[in-house]
Structure 1
Amino acid sequence: MSDDQKQQLHDYLTETREAVIWKAEGLSEYDVRRPLTRTGTNLLGLIKHLSIVEAWYFGKTFNRPFAPHLPWWDDDAPEGADMWVTASESRQEILETYQASISHADATIRSLDLDAPGHVPWWRRPTVTLHAILVHVLTETARHAGHADILREQLDGRTGMRAGNLNQQPHDEQWWTDYRSQIEAAAQSAVSK
């Protein structure tokens, strides 16, 4: 693959990271942390998790350890410790850790060729390349950006990738109520057939 293709993947990852960060902006401490699904999914927890994803895959995989050590993925860490934020962990600390892991990952991406070898011990095929890891992390970040999009919409109706870049036309509450009713009616009709 060419340097242009590598840059394109990197650009997509950068845009997706920015969307995740934007989803946490302007929210109260409670709203950015509170669990909004049965499994506890929350915005700041997603960012904390993605910090580990970036640090691990672009760090340890290529023998380029990220510092400081992130204990949330240690073998003795409580299950799910990387998916939520304790009261003693500040929003600023979590966002700064994510930014630092991104900077570290970006340095790895810039300095290695796409065919540079790495190792992920728990994968079925543990020998990997930077290309495989770049695609993997882009996929995981996009997946969690989708989670963040739904969580933010539940909180205040805000959608889109960033301010001024909405995924749909702006409408008033009545339009959305009618639209949702139309979808609900279609779902019920499909069941009754």
Structure 2
Amino acid sequence: MIDDFAKEYLHNDLREIREVMLWKLDGLGEYDIRRPLTSTGTNLLGLVKHLSMVESRYFGEVFDRPFADPLPRWNDAEEHGADMWATEHETRAEVAGRYRRAWEHSDTTITALAIDSPGHVPWWPRPDVKLFNILVHVLTETNRHAGHADIPHEQLVKSTGTTARHATPHRDATFWEALCAKIERAAEAAATEPDHAGPRTTFT
């Protein structure tokens, strides 16, 4: 009983956070969903592309249930990092569609297998796993990347949240400038306190 509950609980959380990732693309133009918005190139469409690979691989080959779409080998050095951004030839519909197909494949695997069903992850130090391990891993990774997506999404639309219904209210530029100035003053004041003194990094 507890195994069924745990599997369904994790699965439902995964279903919800997947939708969050696609919602982050809504209402944005092609340039904005693709362009790098951090110094390491983080971009919204690339995060979705990456997660489609994650689900395809972890709920596919790990359980000997390969995904229909071709995937680069996990140890292919030439492909390393290519799943984190979309080329000009990959459309939004293609990337999002692949992610949805990966969901369907994952959902079939999750439904078909018991939570203690064995799998094998050749790129992990301890490769022998259970479905439970993979559910937790993929849910954790998806949540992590949803957090990553919040940063560029916030830069673009000045709003955060998990869905349109739960998004923070839109504010004008004056509100955000005042808030940032308040936070900056607090940071500067803390840096002068003897108990807080330490290296200071300035972003420009």
What residue in structure 2 maps to residue 102 of structure 1? 103
Partner of 1:151: 152
Matches of 2:149 and 2:14, distance apart in 1: 15
Runs of 5+ unmatched residues, structure 2: 194-204
**C-alpha distance in 2 between matches for 1:22 and 1:182:** 30
> 2:53 and 2:28 mapped to 1: Cα distance?
23
Letter in 1 for 2:5: D
CA displacement at 1:78 relative to structure 2 = 3.3
2:158 touches 2:171 (CA, 8 Å); kept in 1? no
Give the match for residue 177 of structure 1.
Answer: 177
Larger Rg over CA atoms: 2
Q: How many residues align?
A: 192
Instruction: Name the TM-score, length of structure 2 as normaliser.
Output: 0.89
TM-score by structure 1 length? 0.93
Structure 1: tracts of 5 or more residues without a match: none
Q: CA–CA distance in 2 between the matches of 1:180 and 1:83?
A: 30
Equivalent residue, structure 1, for 2:44: 43
Percent of counterpart pairs with the same letter? 54
User: Structure 1 stretch 114-123 or stretch 177-186: which is displaced more?
Assistant: 177-186
> Within 5 Å, which residues of 2 pair with 1:52-91?
52-71=53-72, 73=74, 75=76, 77-91=78-92
Q: Residue deviations 1:91-116, cap 9 Å, x none? A: 11101000000110011111111100
Q: Which amino acid aligns with 1:182?
A: K
The answer as to 2:33 corresponding to 1:12 is no
User: Which residue is 1:32 aligned to?
Assistant: 33
CA separation of 1:77/1:135 partners in 2, compared to 1, >3 Å: closer, same or farther? same
The 2-side partners of 1:74 and 1:67 are apart by 19
Q: How far does the alpha carbon of each residue in 1:107-142 deviate from its partner, in whole angstroms, 9 at most, with x for none?
A: 111111110000001211110010000000000000
- The CA distance in 2 between the partners of 1:165 and 1:150, in whole Å, is 16
Paired residue for 1:111? 112
Determine if contact 1:45/1:83 at 8 Å carries over to the other structure: yes
Deviation at 1:175, TM superposition (A): 3.1
- The alignment yields a C-alpha RMSD, in angstroms, of 1.6
